Structure 1
Amino acid sequence: MHHADLFGPVDAGLPEGLVYRPDFVTAAEEAALIDHVAALPFAPFQFHGFEGNRRTVSFGMEYKFDGSGLKQAEPFPGWLLPVRDHAAALAELKPEDFVHALIIEYAPGAGIGWHRDRPVFGDVVGVSLGAEAPLRFRLKEGSKWRRFTLPAEPRSAYLLRGPARTEWEHSLAPVSALRYSITLRTLRAA
């Protein structure tokens, strides 16, 4: 049985508003970023009193799932600024528009369930470091789901805006090897 048969047809087209860039950073840049990221003081992801199977660190702003919402966090470290600048170029925004950086460590077996990013955030740029990970998308259409899987390759980046950001849900299947992601977010326009 073909895998897609279990979940319905897989749509070959990218969701509207999803932009994907392989080779967003070079292998040398990825190695340097992994060195910086691996040294961060990661803590288990906290969600309404539960711990996730991934570990996180935030810069700029931090979103707390304990009811307090968005708070100030440590400023972006210098080594992260070139990534923010590159993300801004991809999104055609100013670097300072990205006010939140979430660094996530996915140990083997870790993933993230179906979700949309919090409504307080606007555009989202994710940068993949380390292992490849299938980034899955789904959109409810009547009683069925329209699906798309993006093989988020090491050193790649994706931009979520428009329907890909606000209408489609996304998830990350459990990874088979250590993976890091750098997720940069703008605030939603009022």
Structure 2
Amino acid sequence: MTEQLALFADNSSAPEGLRYAADFISPEVERELIARIAALPLQPFQFGQYQGKRRVASFGFRYDYTERRLREADFIPDWLGPVIEQVETFGGPRTEIAQVLCTEYDTGVGIGWHRDRPHFDRIFGLSLGSPCKFRFRHPAGDKWERFTLEAQPRSIYLLSGAAREVWEHSIPAVEAPRYSITLRTMRD
């Protein structure tokens, strides 16, 4: 368990490999990032033939669910450089961000249970705009073991190890507009 998770009342069931830090960026940087994301040509998330309600823009790489393969995407914009440097420092030596996904969640929009595609290794998420419940689950016998992280605006989480490989995660419908920047390293 990391000291960052000690801020939460019940962290006894927190997934191994989950790391969280509040106030990762300043309110000023948060406002600038939200404005930058809102100005992107965001498109509804495509999951094969299905269209999600959240809107996204991918950089570096994107996963094509129809073709079931990783494809190159637009270059990562320069304005993300300072955030990427900060995330790579948070991630430690040999952390190299290769993919970025900017997401807009309108009120009432969430994301279902999933694990990120196996092409990616460690997953970092920067939460912007409003808090959300970041839920985790994995099978434990005939039941589910669960954990919920209250991800606050301007916070960051890291998924590695079991939190990345064993546990699924989801976000229920948000109560206010929310943005996120997901930053991923590539699997060797």
Q: TM-score if structure 1 supplies the norm length?
A: 0.91
1:45 lines up with 2:45 in the alignment? yes
Where does residue 160 of structure 2 map in the other structure? 161
SS of 2:98's partner is strand
Which ranges in structure 2 are unaligned for 5 or more consecutive residues? 1-9
Q: How many pairs were matched up?
A: 179
The residue identity in structure 1 corresponding to 2:138 is: L
1:31 deviation in Å?
A: 0.7
Aligned to 2:120: 121
Matching residue of 1:56: 56
Aligned to 1:14: 14
Give 1:94 deviation, angstroms: 4.3
Question: How far apart, CA to CA, are the structure 2 residues paired with 1:113 and 1:126?
Answer: 16
- Distance of 1:59 and 1:173 partners within structure 2: 25
Q: For 1:56-113, what per-residue CA distance to the aligned partner results, in whole angstroms no more than 9, with x for missing partners?
A: 0001111111124111111111111111111111111446x21100011000010000
Name the amino acid aligned to 1:46.
Answer: Q
Q: Quick one: distance in 1 between partners of 2:67 and 2:92? A: 32
User: What are the residue-to-residue correspondences of 1:142-181 with 2, within 5 Å?
Assistant: 142-181=141-180
C-alpha distance in structure 2 between counterparts of 1:59 and 1:121, whole Å:
14
Tell me how far apart the structure 1 counterparts of residues 29 and 42 of structure 2 sit (CA, whole Å).
21
C-alpha separation in 2, matches of 1:144 and 1:90:
34
- Provide the rounded CA distance (Å) in 2 between the counterparts of 1:30 and 1:118: 27
Q: Is the 8 A contact 2:13 2:146 kept in 1?
A: no
Task: For 1:83, give the aligned amino acid.
Answer: V
* Cα offset, 1:11, TM superposition: 6.2
Matched residue, 1:6? none
Residue 91 (structure 2) aligns with: 91
Question: Which 4+ runs in 1 deviate beyond 3 A?
Answer: 10-13
Q: How far does the alpha carbon of each residue in 1:5-35 deviate from its partner, in whole angstroms, 9 at most, with x for none? A: xxxxx86442100000100111011011111
Q: Give the share of equivalent positions with the same residue, in percent.
A: 47
Structure 2 equivalent of residue 24 of structure 1: 24
Distance in 1, matches of 2:85 and 2:94, equals 8
Gaps of 5+ in 1: 1-9
Q: TM-score, normalised by structure 2?
A: 0.92
Aligned residue number for residue 81 of structure 2 = 81
